[in-house]
Amino acid sequence: MTRINTNVSSIVAQKNLARSNADLQQALTRLSTGLRINVGKDDPAGLIASEVLRSDIISVERAITNSERANQLIATADSALGQVSSLLNDIRGLVSEAANTGALSDAQIAADQLQVDSSLEAIDRIAQTTAFQGRRLLDGSLDFITTSAGTADIGASATIGSTNDAAAFVTVDGDGGSAFTASGIVFTAKISGSAYNGFDILLKSAVAAGSETVSINLVTKTVSFSIDSGSTTAATLVTVLANNALASAVFSASAIEGGGAAVVGSDTAGVTASTASGADSNKFIISATSGNEGIALNDVKVVIVTTGTAGSESASYTTGATNVLTITVDGTNSTANVIAAAINATADFEFSASTTGLGFGIFDGATLTYDAATTGGALGSGNISDLQIDQANFGTSTQIDATITIDTQAQQGALTYSGGTLSGDLILEIGGLSGFEVFNFGTSTTVSQIRDALNLVSDATGISATVNTGTADGGGDELVLTSSEYGSDAFVSARALSGTLATFADVSGTPTASTRDNGLDIELRINGVKATGDGLRATLNTSTLDLNFSVNSVLTAGDTISFSITGGGAIFQLGPDVVSNQQARLGIQGVSTATLGGVSGTLFELRTGGAKDLRTDVKGAAKVIEEVITSVTELRGRLGAFQRTTLETNIFTLQDTLENLTDAESSIRDADFAAESANLTRAQILVQSGTSVLGIANSNPQNVLALLR
């Protein structure tokens, strides 16, 4: 059909040319951008998948950057700690040199002390100036924050205090004073606590002589005697009280001198006990003051001298090897007077005191002798010490509560000899973790003499000897050899090279003949999870909590200790998602001379004038520096382990993940240049062909003119 108004062929050619142009434009766009998907219509489903992968890629890339930055932070801290280790080794050499007092003059030792002071100042400077992007790393600001690990009621000779600057304290307990007095009788509460103060003692004339009885009502706080008012004596009341199980469990009684006369009274004539009485009346707490708290005031011997003059009470503290707090009072001083006049009266004193009871008891030199009480320990309680929290994952909580349950307490190696005085010559080899020594004892050497000889070299053997008087078979003395350390690695060896020494081990409770005995490691659980024990030290390493600490040796199986981690630590974002299991919270302890230390003391004490400077206590200085070197080395090892096992492996894993995600995203979004080049060539040819065809189609109507000629 020949038509000129409608050119269908031209329309068809235009349509196909437009499509070819669109294909050409798409090919040009993909080749110029390198992307297969440039707008949503190119591939809607592919665009969604690509955008999700892009988000993952960006998160992983940032996680890699975070891990690398954390790695750089730890490397900065480790570099500074390396310098601290070098300085500590220098100090260790100076301490060893200063111990050579036989060959060194006082001037040489003073010169060594100046070097020690300079090194300590350098350590403090490193601790205060080491920073990464403005954040200090070694001043303790990145350590974890914990609450106190409870309180310990473990007696006046307990070691209680802190390695983390919590106040050291010790409870000093008196004889309780005269609790209750009724007509020549002194009643004393047997149970500590003010709950047993203020009892009424009632004397009821209700029975005949010989039929006296006593009853006690803990609710109304009344002790009631039924007596014969004409003939019952004070001594009789003491006997009646002793024969009553309930009453004698709470009170003890004694007739005062001259108290044998008959007790005269009516049914209501009682004596109200003074509120200044009870077993707590002579008890008070001595604490390290806030400006002096910490292990520097641990292991302080408390001596109460009652030969002073009333009105001239005083307290003094002697540092150095003795570490003695001496309280001088008059024998008639009350607890309140001792606290106010002797201890708290001195401004800026190392210690302060407060009463735990009502504090009105009278000190009596004949009944109050506390020259064995000491301060010291950890976290203000004496339960645990040297708490080191390496990592803690708080998750969605604001704090981590930790409950420690002791299943089996650690023990020392121990051997007992009960043969008494030697009946023949003996060549004895004694050894422990520190080494072995050989002793040559002759016939008739006593147990006490053996003890003294062994203790002279206890620092070289790691074995201490004590004598239990009158406990061996036949009433003789027995010699107990004990390792200075606790745990399965600690041991006591006692071997007779010539002669006979029959010893037995007593750890299990059943004496067994032995020449060697090992200790036991502690067994405990933290929040139900079994920890690893090494002597008195316990270690827990889980996905949420990584810590270690030492347990006080006075605690026993079944004891529980609780504390909480409330904050602190450096949080590192290691994964792409901001969730707790993709974060690590690392604690970095401070390394200033005031905080570095252990059970032997702090590094600060090695300064001139300190308790362990080179002229005062060089042996103590050696112990402190050894503990500090170990502590810093362990910190470096822990940080290095975090770098290698956490950060570097995390970076490698994330890099592999990034590679795979990028490959997946590229396969969806990127253009295939080979295919697109082919598409471009095809589109170009089609456009050229379409253009030619369109020209032909447009010229077809002119053929009508041939019909009109």
From its phi and psi, is residue 527 left (phi > 0), alpha (psi between -120 and 50) or beta? left
Amino acid at 641: A
Whether pLDDT at 60 is above 90: yes
434-477 pLDDT per residue, tens: 899 999 999 999 888 999 999 999 988 999 998 876 544 444 57
Q: Taking the domains of the chain in order of start, what are their residue ranges?
A: 8-34+671-708, 54-138+598-665, 169-174+281-374, 180-272, 412-518
Across the range 263-284, mean pLDDT stands at: 38
**Do residues 435 and 413 lie in contact, with contact meaning Cβ atoms separated by under 8 Å?**
no
**Partners of 498 in the β-ladder:** 427
Q: Report how far residue 564's alpha carbon sits from residue 321's, in angstroms, rounded to the nearest whole number.
A: 35
Q: How confident is the model at residue 486 (pLDDT cuts 50, 70, 90)?
A: very high
Q: Which residue has the tokens 């003073």?
A: 110
Instruction: Write phi, then psi, for 65 (nearest 5 degrees).
Output: -60, -40
- Average pLDDT score over the chain: 77
Q: Taking residues 687-694, what's their average pLDDT?
A: 89
Q: Please state, in angstroms and as integers, the Cα–Cα distance from residue 447 to each residue in 280, 466, 483, 504, 509, following that order.
A: 40, 9, 18, 15, 23
Amino acid at 70: A
Chain centre to alpha carbon of residue 698: 95
- Greater confidence (364 vs 412) lies with 412
Residue 94, pLDDT score: 94
Q: Which two tokens stand for residue 676?
A: 């697109």
Long-range contacts of 649-657 (CB under 8 A, 24+ apart): 650/63, 650/67, 650/574, 650/575, 651/64, 651/67, 651/68, 651/71, 654/60, 654/63, 654/64, 654/67, 654/575, 654/576, 655/64, 657/60
Confidence tier at 167 by pLDDT (50, 70, 90): very low
- Spatial CB neighbours of 267, under 8 Å, sequence gap ≥ 6: 202, 203, 204, 205, 206
Confidence of residue 373 (pLDDT cuts 50, 70, 90): very low
Write the burial class of residue 623 (CB in 10 Å: 0-12 exposed, 13-18 middle, 19+ buried): middle
Is pLDDT at 159 greater than 70 in this prediction? no
Distance CA 92, CA 394 (A): 39
The tokens for 526 are: 């933290």
Predicted confidence band of residue 332 (pLDDT cuts 50, 70, 90): low
Taking each helix axis as running N to C, give the angle between helix 673-699 and helix 8-33, from 0 to 180 degrees, rounded to the nearest 10.
160
- The reported pLDDT for the residue numbered 190 is 62
Q: Is the pLDDT confidence value at 294 over 70?
A: no
Asked if 17 and 691 count as a contact pair (C-beta separation under 8 A), the reply is yes
* 416, 504 Cβ separation under 8 angstroms: yes
Radius of gyration (Cα) for the chain, nearest Å? 42
For 390-400, what is each residue's pLDDT tens digit?
Answer: 888 888 888 88
User: Cα torsion at 448, 450, 455, 458 (round to 10°)?
Assistant: -150
pLDDT at 150: 37
Q: How far apart are CA 359 and CA 307, in angstroms?
A: 20
Of 202-211, 303-312, 523-532, which one has max mean pLDDT? 523-532
> Nearest CA to 412 among 458, 481, 460, 467?
481
306 Cβ contact list (under 8 Å, min separation 6): 329, 330, 331, 333, 363, 364, 365, 368
Six-digit token pair at 69? 């930055």
Phi-psi region of 382 (alpha: psi -120 to 50; beta: other; left: phi over 0): left
What are the residue ranges of helices labelled H in 314-468? 335-337, 447-456, 458-461
User: How far apart, in whole angstroms, are the C-alpha atoms of residue 506 and residue 494?
Assistant: 14
In this prediction, residues 175-194 reach a mean pLDDT of 48
562-615 pLDDT tens trace? 888 888 888 999 989 888 888 888 889 888 888 888 777 888 889 998 888 998
Q: Residue 52 has which token pair?
A: 């999700």
CA distance 695 to 691: 6
In this predicted structure, the answer to whether residue 661 has a pLDDT above a threshold of 90 is yes
Residue pLDDT, tens place only, 627-656: 899 989 989 998 999 999 999 999 999 999
Most confident of the ranges 198-212, 313-327, 438-452: 438-452
pLDDT tens across 251-267, in order? 777 664 433 434 433 33
Contacts of 515 (CB under 8 A, 6+ apart): 415, 493, 494, 495, 496, 503
Distance linking the first and last C-alpha atoms of the chain: 19
pLDDT confidence tier of residue 300, bands split at 50, 70 and 90: low
Lowest mean per-residue pLDDT among 18-32, 294-308, 434-448, 584-598: 294-308
Please give the Cα distance from 394 to 584 (Å, whole number).
10
What size, in residues, is the chain? 709
pLDDT at 199 over 90: no
Higher-pLDDT residue of 459 and 326 is: 459
For the chain, percent of residues with pLDDT exceeding 70: 73
Rounded Cα distance between 115 and 135, Å, is 30
DSSP classification of residue 334:
B
Cβ-based burial of 540 (10 A; exposed 0-12, middle 13-18, buried ≥19): buried
Q: What is the pLDDT of residue 367?
A: 33
- Span 54-138+598-665: which CATH code? 1.20.1330.10
- Residue 174: pLDDT band (50, 70, 90) is very low
* Average pLDDT score over residue span 169-182: 39
* 115-151 pLDDT, tens digit each: 999 999 999 999 999 999 888 999 888 888 887 543 3
Q: With 50 as the cut, is the pLDDT of residue 64 above it?
A: yes
Residue 160 above 50 pLDDT? no
Using alpha carbons only, give the angle 586, 588, 592 rounded to the nearest 5 degrees: 175
| Strand positions, DSSP E, 256-294 | 270-272, 284-288
Residue 689 backbone zone (phi > 0: left; psi -120 to 50: alpha; other: beta): alpha
Determine the average pLDDT of the residues in 82-95: 95
pLDDT band at 622 (very low <50, low <70, confident <90, very high): very high
Residue 542 — pLDDT band, cuts 50, 70, 90?
Answer: confident
Phi/psi of residue 462, each to 5°? Answer: 80, 20
pLDDT value of position 95:
94
Amino acid at the residue 218? L
Coil, strand or helix at 651: helix
The average pLDDT across 686-692 equals: 89
